[in-house]
Structure 1
Amino acid sequence: MKILGKILKSTALVMLLIFAASCSDDDNENLVIIEDDDNIVEAAQKTSSLSSLVAALSKADESTNNDLITALSSEGPFTVLAPTNEAFTDLLARLDGFDSLDDFNNEQLQDLLATILTYHVVSGTAVSSSELTAGQSINTLQGENLTVSLTDGVTFTDAAGEIATVTTADVETENGVVHIIDKVLIPQAALDALSNVLLVSITDLAVSVPSLSILVDALVAADGDLPTVLTNDGPFTVFAPTNDAFEAFLMANDFNSLDDIPTEILTQVLLNHVVAGTNLSTDLSSGYVSTLSTAGANDANLSMFINTEDGVTLNGNSTVTAADNKAINGVVHIVDAVIGLPNIVDHAIANPNLTSLVGALTADNNTTFTTLLTDSETDFTVFAPLNTAFESFTNPSDNDLNSILANHVISGAAANAESLTNTYFNTTAMNADGDNLSIYVNIDDGVTLNGTSTVVAADIIATNGIIHAVNTVIDLPTVVTFATADPNFSSLVGALTAEGQPDFVSVLSTPNGTDPAPFTVFAPTNGAFANLAEVPSGDALTAVLNHHVIVGANIMSGDLSNGLISPATLEGDTLTFTIDGDNNVTITDGSGNSEIGIIAVDVQANNGVIHAIDTVMIPDTTN
């Protein structure tokens, strides 16, 4: 490729054709009127059908090597073959991956565009159509020759074998003559450069942009293989921070240079700017994508939140300033800030759908949750209610909001959706005794929590855990909450709500601290009910159900001991506990039935605790 700077120093300064445009003969040759003192550039600027040519000249001149507009505005004389707008549309179709002249977005591509444009200019002479002869070889400003054919009008054939036909000849200007043609001509030099310049790798593209030099240095400093990775097939989408972005990042984190950043951290930060696939700006939409960084909890790929409401912002703090810089193996979007490794709080703040949650967490300058959820030593699973969830939440039991929020957080585990099963976890919320409340996860139909809240966006990965967005605020559970949420207790719920039974639901929903709460419930599973020869009814059923509930006490498994006799159940009889050498706990009921097994312990509600048992207990019927 000839550098235009050298061309300008030589005698002839020429560029693409520009002159007064005209319509077809069928349109009565609606020629643009050119004044006597208009030069080639001015003529092109006045011709609507040459607007793409004018734009191409401007785009080529964005390279510091080129000054085509000035050259074609000089004394000349020049002969210019001026491609129409349709010719440039055809050119873009020929160049795979290019949708507009804006895709010539780095110096290499702009110099290549200049090479193509100067192939349309003859310097030092103004050649009219009557002076052209068949087979004539014309030396262009680009350096390669064009051959004239007069077989079917006046045509020129480029190095790729494409034929350009003169559609309007002899448009005279103050510094030369313009012939309008219907095809952009491509010289051999441009064809040779296609694989090396037009289709550069992401790494080469970054190297070619001066404002990304620190990014290039960072790629080498972090992991010597990263530049090579970004030259592979990919495809990749890279959000590339500018030099100013890196300098701000270094200052904000008290680093004097890239050398001060631990290699592993720098590597993960850089990978956090890379997404799989070619995602043009038109492909991006608000939502989460996975980056190539494995700095997430359990070495998972970190999530990135893309917000397209006003431009494109990433994780709430980095904005795309120059989009769609295409490469052979993907696309680069230049951004104005380094995208740090997000923790759970960072993700919550970045997502406009979680502003109500963030407001609740930080109300009245509360730092409890922000301090907790930025802890890098502990993994968390957070069920994050959307703004719409808060809008519909009325807090019917008037529970403490901080306790409600804590009931959405699991500490000590980062559970992704794939790992979830029908099971109980402990949240960071506590009852009056300081026992952590339970939360029931059911995956039978999506992921639901305590039977009331559904996960609508799973697996938002942070450095210290995972967020699952939910559609309902999860209120503090009562023992009824778990009985109705857990399908293993459906037979028990059926018995509690059977016709003629007392209003067990209201009683067992009594708030903690209000008589007769708290409760200790020994809850028979469906299998326990199935083992009965006959499910009792009426008063007999009432007595059986009352025999499974102890009021006024929250008896955890740790409170049980061998030979312990419980307080009286609601029915009046007591229970006796036996613990064997393997710490297995069995119960003897009021009628003397022993070996009743506790198969799940400490399902902790706010107003009591549930222990699942494998046998329906029968009270002493003789008293």
Structure 2
Amino acid sequence: MKKLFKWAFVAFLAITVVACSNDDDNNPTNPDSSDFTITNILQSNSDYTSLVAALNRAGLTGALDGVEERTLFAPTNAAFEQFLNDNGFPSLEEVPVDVLTETLLNHVVNGSAFSTDLTTGYLNSLASFGDTGFNLSLFVDLSSGIRVNGVSSVVVANADVEASNGVIHQVDAVIGIPTVVTQATANPDFSVLVEALVAGSTNGVDYVALLSGTEGSPFTVFAPTNDAFAGLLEALGLDSLDQIPVDLLQTVLNYHVIAASNVRAGDLSEGAEVTTFQGEDILITLDGGPGIIDATGIKANIIATDVQSSNGIVHAIDKVILPQEAIDVVNPTIAGLAMMNADLSILVDALGRAGLVDTLNDRNAEFTVFAPTNTAFLAFLDSLGLDSLDDVPVDVLTQVLLNHVLTGTALSTDLSTGYVSSLATFGGEDNLSMYISTADGVRINGVSSVAAADQTAANGVVHVVDAVIGLPTVVTFATADPTFETLVAALTREDQPDFAGILSTPNGTEPAPFTVFAPTNDAFGDLLAELGLGGLGDLDTATLTATLNYHVIGGANVREEDLSSGDVGTLGGNITINAAAATITDPNGRVINIVVTNVQAANGVVHVINRVILPPL
């Protein structure tokens, strides 16, 4: 009797579900629907008879009837009818079982993802790439409703049908097995890439057909985003893809494809060289995140990986990569190279604000540019307590940027330890100095190191650096140049005034500007021997203070060409200059040679001397 009652209750409940389904336009959204599995709900809804039949034929009913939670994008009968018509199948029975199985699995995602859980981006379906076990990707776009792979939309009224083992979203089209073209067309961030593929499909080449098919597959496609293409067009001074010659466009597109290989992110290795469909190699780098080094030497960052399709895989990149064949035609300027590098976008903005883009676009001049990355600029702004470039006065920003530029082309092999002149100026006339050290890589002014060298351009070369090279003070050069280590130790000795702070005073504020006669380490060594002292610490406080003051002229930027013979007042007292002989005589009659001149800072000038100037002894 109990058994009979149980079966009667189940039968009644099933009838009730069907009745409620029919009453609610075939959408079982009543509170009891969550007591049923996904399979139960589908079987009870007349709008899913084709889907149920397909699941039965593929042997997948059990996959949606267990305890594992699933999200099902469920095509309606009308969706299946359209799918059969589009693919030339008279009925479901004519669809090969393996194709039907993978198509159905491409509608299923592990876990319960309600519409409020979905975000624009990629999900993995239960369909797989061949027999690899790599799940195919689904692109969910929430920009207008919920759209999957650009072909199927969730019917809003029939979304979020909760089951005991997951959730059902009714969709208006079958989500076919994706190709790499599907992944490109589904994601609006690749819309310009799609335009490029269409524009390049001529002269016997059909990229859409090629990348939708199996011949030559699997393909690995490095897909530039819309922003990447915008950067390329800006760098080339073009308004649209139509202005790029078709043969050049094809060369560039071919460089983004690896044929006969499904290279996943886990397969990438540092320093690997991979031959592209175009014929030239690209270099894989993992330093600072996965990326590609092309013939420009500029890294393209891989910003989304493993978008898997049935005939290959897509990785999104933030830069259009260029082979040497294309560079020989394009021959970008320094400004152009910067515009093509997403890591230099803040530099490009800064150049625009300072009106320097045209300068670095000039093909009739040659420059060497030390180019700070976005991270470097953000750190620079943070150090100043500023929120954006807009907070930096334009005149200051202009000088800071010019302080990263040298005239002429200086490859890394041309650089040597010593001083060069940047295009920044003191008082609008005298170029600021830059101290380059090649002792360990290439380091500038002791604050910025070259991270990626020798990116050649039509009008020079770019070296990417890891920090903004701020406008130097006289202290900057003292600390950057190891020749002055003992001088720095003397200036910063605990018993001394805050010489470093004083000598960092900005130009225009007393006692700046300064003229500093800077003794070398050897000069200090000779002084200690002359005085019979064992070390700098043996020099008494007052004598050291007076000695250091004798090396500084306050309120004047006295360059070599401005030196005149006679007595000159320093912060300590008078010294005697012999301009013709380039010597200094101190109060003790000791003669000091000026051995290097005009190391120009933003708040003064430094001249290097070979002996320490002493106060009266």
TM-score by length of 1: 0.51
Aligned length: 438
In the superposition, relative to structure 1, how do residues 429 and 324 fare at CA in structure 2: closer, same or farther (>3 Å)? Answer: farther
SS in 2 for 1:386: helix
CA–CA distance in structure 2, aligned partners of residues 568 and 210 of structure 1: 71
The gaps in structure 1 that reach 5 residues or longer are: 1-26, 104-196, 199-208, 221-230, 313-321, 580-585
Query: Which one of 54, 58, 66 corresponds to residue 44 of structure 1?
Result: 54
Aligned partner letter, 2:358: T
CA–CA distance in structure 1, aligned partners of residues 562 and 237 of structure 2: 55
In the alignment, what sits opposite 1:587? 583
**Residue 387 of structure 1 pairs with residue 378 of structure 2:** yes
Shift of 1:390: 0.9
Aligned partner letter, 2:53: A
1:446–1:454 CA contact under 8 A, matched in 2: no
Equivalence map 1:410-425=2 (5 Å): 410-412=405-407, 423-425=418-420
SS in 2 for 1:466: strand
| CA displacement, residues 106-134 of structure 1 (integer Å, 9 cap, x when unaligned) | xxxxxxxxxxxxxxxxxxxxxxxxxxxxx
Aligned partner letter, 1:572: N
In the alignment, what sits opposite 2:552? 549
CA–CA distance in structure 2, aligned partners of residues 368 and 592 of structure 1: 53
Aligned partner letter, 1:439: M
Equivalence map 1:399-478=2 (5 Å): 401-406=396-401, 408-412=403-407, 423-432=418-427, 434-441=429-436, 449-451=444-446, 453-454=447-448, 458=452, 461=455, 463=457, 465-466=461-462, 468=464, 470=466, 474-478=469-473
CA–CA distance in structure 1, aligned partners of residues 316 and 44 of structure 2: 42
1:381–1:409 CA contact under 8 A, matched in 2: yes
TM-score by length of 2: 0.51
Query: Which one of 475, 486, 490 corresponds to residue 481 of structure 2?
Result: 486
In the alignment, what sits opposite 2:20? none
In the alignment, what sits opposite 1:496? 491
Shift of 1:432: 1.1
In the superposition, relative to structure 1, how do residues 523 and 437 fare at CA in structure 2: closer, same or farther (>3 Å)? Answer: same
SS in 1 for 2:53: helix
**Residue 369 of structure 1 pairs with residue 356 of structure 2:** yes
Query: Which one of 71, 88, 91 corresponds to residue 67 of structure 1?
Result: 88
Shift of 1:603: 1.9
In the alignment, what sits opposite 2:568? 568
In the alignment, what sits opposite 1:212? 197
In the superposition, relative to structure 1, how do residues 50 and 432 fare at CA in structure 2: closer, same or farther (>3 Å)? Answer: same
In the superposition, relative to structure 1, how do residues 367 and 272 fare at CA in structure 2: closer, same or farther (>3 Å)? Answer: farther
Shift of 1:481: 2.4
Equivalence map 1:193-212=2 (5 Å): 212=197
CA–CA distance in structure 2, aligned partners of residues 251 and 587 of structure 1: 54
2:503–2:514 CA contact under 8 A, matched in 1: yes
CA–CA distance in structure 1, aligned partners of residues 479 and 249 of structure 2: 49
In the alignment, what sits opposite 1:134? none
Shift of 1:527: 2.2
1:290–1:303 CA contact under 8 A, matched in 2: yes
Query: Which one of 284, 298, 303 corresponds to residue 299 of structure 2?
Result: 303
Shift of 1:445: 7.7
| CA displacement, residues 545-586 of structure 1 (integer Å, 9 cap, x when unaligned) | 3443344443434556xxx6265151312132456xxxxxx5
2:524–2:612 CA contact under 8 A, matched in 1: no
In the alignment, what sits opposite 2:111? none
1:212–1:240 CA contact under 8 A, matched in 2: no
In the superposition, relative to structure 1, how do residues 411 and 278 fare at CA in structure 2: closer, same or farther (>3 Å)? Answer: farther
Shift of 1:492: 0.8
2:334–2:360 CA contact under 8 A, matched in 1: yes
Shift of 1:605: 0.6
Query: Which one of 605, 609, 617 corresponds to residue 605 of structure 2?
Result: 609
In the alignment, what sits opposite 1:170? none
More helix per residue:
2
| CA displacement, residues 16-39 of structure 1 (integer Å, 9 cap, x when unaligned) | xxxxxxxxxxx9x99986999998
CA–CA distance in structure 2, aligned partners of residues 211 and 538 of structure 1: 73
| CA displacement, residues 442-492 of structure 1 (integer Å, 9 cap, x when unaligned) | 5778876544x4559655958464364545x55432212221333321211
| CA displacement, residues 499-550 of structure 1 (integer Å, 9 cap, x when unaligned) | 6555543443343244543332221121221233136545544454344334
CA–CA distance in structure 2, aligned partners of residues 326 and 416 of structure 1: 45
Equivalence map 1:59-138=2 (5 Å): 66-68=87-89, 71-73=90-92, 92=128, 95=131, 99-100=135-136
Aligned partner letter, 1:383: P
CA–CA distance in structure 1, aligned partners of residues 218 and 580 of structure 2: 63
SS in 2 for 1:390: helix
Shift of 1:232: 11
**Residue 378 of structure 1 pairs with residue 366 of structure 2:** yes
In the alignment, what sits opposite 1:143? none
Shift of 1:371: 2.9
Query: Which one of 206, 217, 239 corresponds to residue 223 of structure 2?
Result: 239
In the superposition, relative to structure 1, how do residues 239 and 374 fare at CA in structure 2: closer, same or farther (>3 Å)? Answer: same
1:353–1:387 CA contact under 8 A, matched in 2: no
CA–CA distance in structure 1, aligned partners of residues 95 and 496 of structure 2: 102
2:418–2:435 CA contact under 8 A, matched in 1: yes
In the alignment, what sits opposite 2:115? none
In the superposition, relative to structure 1, how do residues 555 and 43 fare at CA in structure 2: closer, same or farther (>3 Å)? Answer: same
In the superposition, relative to structure 1, how do residues 254 and 356 fare at CA in structure 2: closer, same or farther (>3 Å)? Answer: closer
2:517–2:606 CA contact under 8 A, matched in 1: yes
Shift of 1:332: 7.4
CA–CA distance in structure 1, aligned partners of residues 84 and 294 of structure 2: 34
SS in 1 for 2:433: strand
In the superposition, relative to structure 1, how do residues 31 and 400 fare at CA in structure 2: closer, same or farther (>3 Å)? Answer: closer
In the superposition, relative to structure 1, how do residues 278 and 454 fare at CA in structure 2: closer, same or farther (>3 Å)? Answer: farther
Query: Which one of 522, 525, 528 corresponds to residue 530 of structure 1?
Result: 525
SS in 2 for 1:531: helix
| CA displacement, residues 322-344 of structure 1 (integer Å, 9 cap, x when unaligned) | 9546878x867699999998766
2:523–2:612 CA contact under 8 A, matched in 1: no
In the superposition, relative to structure 1, how do residues 372 and 235 fare at CA in structure 2: closer, same or farther (>3 Å)? Answer: farther
CA–CA distance in structure 2, aligned partners of residues 347 and 494 of structure 1: 42
CA–CA distance in structure 2, aligned partners of residues 273 and 515 of structure 1: 58
1:238–1:333 CA contact under 8 A, matched in 2: yes
Aligned partner letter, 1:512: N
1:424–1:603 CA contact under 8 A, matched in 2: yes
SS in 2 for 1:527: helix
CA–CA distance in structure 2, aligned partners of residues 459 and 565 of structure 1: 45
In the superposition, relative to structure 1, how do residues 518 and 378 fare at CA in structure 2: closer, same or farther (>3 Å)? Answer: same
In the superposition, relative to structure 1, how do residues 96 and 350 fare at CA in structure 2: closer, same or farther (>3 Å)? Answer: same
2:129–2:309 CA contact under 8 A, matched in 1: no
CA–CA distance in structure 2, aligned partners of residues 355 and 335 of structure 1: 11
SS in 2 for 1:574: strand
CA–CA distance in structure 1, aligned partners of residues 461 and 442 of structure 2: 18
Aligned partner letter, 1:378: E
In the alignment, what sits opposite 1:596? 593
